Amino acid sequence: MSGRGRTMLLTFDDGPDPRYTPDILDTLAKYDVRATFFVCGEMADHNRDLLSRMADEGHVVGNHTWSHPLLTRLGRRRIRSEMERTSEVVEQAYGELPRWFRAPYGAWNRAAFQLGAELGMEPLAWTVDTLDWTTPGTGTIVDRVADGAAPGVVVLSHDAGGDRSQSVRALRSYLPELLDSGYHLTVPRRRYV
C-alpha cells in the first residue's frame, strides 16, 4: 500500500453486477475514493461497460476466476483456464491485464499461487470480512467495518452473487465515517515490477 498512517483498502468481489456495482461506484466517486474490484470473468464479460467505468474512475480490477469455483478441487489446466480467460476479458474491457488475484473463498493452493504468478499476478487476501453475503443487515455490516478499521486493513465486501443492497447501503454509511476518522482509502500498488 502507498502512503503512511491510517491507510485501508476496500475490496468488492464477485461482480460486476449492474444492479449494485453502479451504486457502489457512485458512492466511491462522491467521496473521491478508489477501491479494488475482484471480478469474475463471466460477470465481467457481460458487463464490460462497468469495467470500462472502473478504469475511467481509477479503480483497480483484479482477477477472481471465471466462474468462482473452489480451486482446490480443480486440476492445473482448469485453474489456468479460469484465470486466463478472466485476465483476457479484463484486458479487453478494463484496458490492462489484472495484477492481482484473489482465490474464490480464499481457497488458494500451490497451483493457484504458481499459475497466478505465471500470469503476472500477486495474491491479495483480506483481513476484515464483512460477511455481507449472509445479508446480516446494513447496520451489522457498518459495525463490522467500523470495529475492524485499523491501519493496513483490507475489507472484503461483495457487489454481486445475490441481493447486495445491504452492501450498497452500508458503504454509503461507513465510507464517510472512515474518512471522518482520518482513514485514507487506497488501492494496492506493486512494490516492484
Nearest of 51, 57, 60, 63 to residue 26 by alpha carbon: 57
Q: Is 159 in the site for Zn ion (CB under 5 A)?
A: no
Q: By CB under 5 A, name the one of 9, 11, 12, 13 that touches Zn ion.
A: 13
Only segment of 8-16, 49-57, 71-79, 184-192 that touches Zn ion (CB under 5 A):
8-16
Of residues 53, 31, 27, 26, the one with CA closest to residue 39: 53
14/159 with CB nearer Zn ion: 14
The answer to whether residue 184 is catalytic is no
CA 159 to chain CA centroid, nearest Å: 9
User: For residues 128 and 156, what is the distance between their CA atoms, to the nearest angstrom?
Assistant: 6
DSSP tag of 147: H
Distance in angstroms (rounded) separating the CA atoms of residues 111 and 118: 10
Can residue 14 be called a binding residue for Zn ion (CB under 5 A)?
A: yes
Site for Zn ion in 85-144 (CB under 5 A): 104
Q: Which amino acid is at 7?
A: T
Rounded to a whole number of angstroms, the minimum distance from the CB of residue 7 to Zn ion is 24
CB nearer Zn ion, residue 62 or residue 104: 104
The question of whether 158 is a catalytic residue gets the answer yes
| Closest C-alpha to 6, from 189, 185, 191 | 185
Question: Phi/psi at 67 (nearest 5 deg)?
Answer: -125, 15
Q: Which of 59, 64, 68, 158 is catalytic?
A: 158
Pull the grid cell for residue 130. Answer: 464483512
Kindly state the number of chain residues that form the binding site for Zn ion, as judged by CB under 5 A.
3
Q: Looking only at residues 34 through 93 of this chain, which bind Zn ion when binding is defined by CB under 5 A?
A: none
Residue 14 or 17: which CB sits closer to Zn ion?
14
- Show which residues are catalytic: 13, 158
Binding site for Zn ion (CB under 5 A): 13-14, 104
